[in-house]
Amino acid sequence: MSLISCTENTHVIFESPYSSPSTIPSILLTANPITTSSPTFNSSINNSLSTPTNVIVAKTSLPISTPIPTPLSTPFVTPTPLISSNNILFDTSKNPFGNSSDKSITNLSKLTDFLTSSGFNITSDDFNNVNLDNISTIIIFCPSKDYSFLEINKLIAFVKSGKKVVITGEWGGFGSFTDTSINIFLKQANLKINQDVIKETLVQNYNLDNEHLLIKKFNTHPITKNINLLSFYSSASISVISGGIIPIDYINTQLIAFSGDQSFTIQDNIKHGVVAVSNIGNGKVVVIGDSSEFTDKDTDKSGKVNLDEASNKEFILNILNW
């Protein structure tokens, strides 16, 4: 081991084989015993000097002998990537909207672009082919095939781990929407999407026709924050039911957006829930009675795509940020 003797108040520059100061081993400073019986040291790393990043500068107030450290041979370990809350998966495994292409979702390109520009990382793929450890939210758009019991349990485990599943349905099977397995999953969260369609009776509550709902009634919730109006296009109703993993907790499990007081389905003539939230374990579930509000279509011929109507964009951001 080599020693360097230094005079008082000198700068000692050690060339280090390490690339950053945070990985440099400690340097042992020892006093010359003939200098003082109670030596003190004033040593520091001075980053203000104009030196390369692989150079260490030490300043002392007394003569010292400093051993030059021998580089340690340590294997490089690849750090485990952090799971981002912005990693969103559009599940394509069950032919969303009746689309037979497993690798794409039609009419959601503007949504994908909007969410990407908002800082989210969007993947469209079969959720069975994706490492879900790196995904924070799965969105299931209007599935036209049923999930197997194994897949349902996989979704339940995903939510229980503290993550989120968002499901958008359709009215009465429109778009080949299949609700059987979805409702098996939703029952664990004490929710159900109904095989019906909501119609409005008051003209101020719909646009173009009485199935194109203008949603104006909201309960207070992070998802409905700063939302005054949503534009839906033929929505099924959502119900809170019993039979979930835990008894219904009406604070965590609730309808949060509604059609008008005089809207109706075939069964009744009251307001209906069109958006609901709940929990399974440590995670969250959101269910919406319509899928069209996020698409590239201009359903009401207004000159705007559905995503750009009312507060639909803010709505999806609130869902993902909740």
Weakest-pLDDT range from 6-20, 90-104, 201-215: 6-20
Res 110 pLDDT > 70: yes
178-223: pLDDT as tens digits: 889 999 999 999 999 988 877 766 544 445 555 667 888 899 999 9
Distance (Å) of CA 173 to CA 56, 176, 294, 318: 69, 5, 18, 27
* Boundaries of every domain in the chain: 1-77, 87-321
Name the range with the highest mean pLDDT among 3-17, 45-59, 172-186: 172-186
Looking at residue 42, what is its pLDDT?
44
Separation of CA 29 from chain center: 50
Put simply, whether the predicted model's pTM sits higher than 0.85 gets the answer: no
Calculate mean pLDDT across residues 244-271: 60
Q: Yes or no: say if 288 and 275 are a contact pair by the CB < 8 Å rule.
A: yes
Percent of the chain with pLDDT over 90: 41
CATH classification number, 87-321, choose in 2.40.50.100, 3.40.50.720, 1.10.10.370, 3.40.50.880: 3.40.50.880
d(CA 6, CA 61): 10
Report H helices in 139-231.
149-160, 180-187
Q: Yes or no: say if 107 and 142 are a contact pair by the CB < 8 Å rule.
A: no
Q: Yes or no: say if 280 and 188 are a contact pair by the CB < 8 Å rule.
A: yes
Res 278 pLDDT > 70: yes
For 20, the token pair is 């950053």
Residue 125 CB: number of other CB atoms within 10 A? 15
Distance (Å) of CA 267 to CA 62, 213, 278, 279: 91, 18, 25, 28
At 306, the pLDDT band (50, 70, 90 cuts) reads very high
164-181: pLDDT as tens digits: 999 998 866 555 678 899
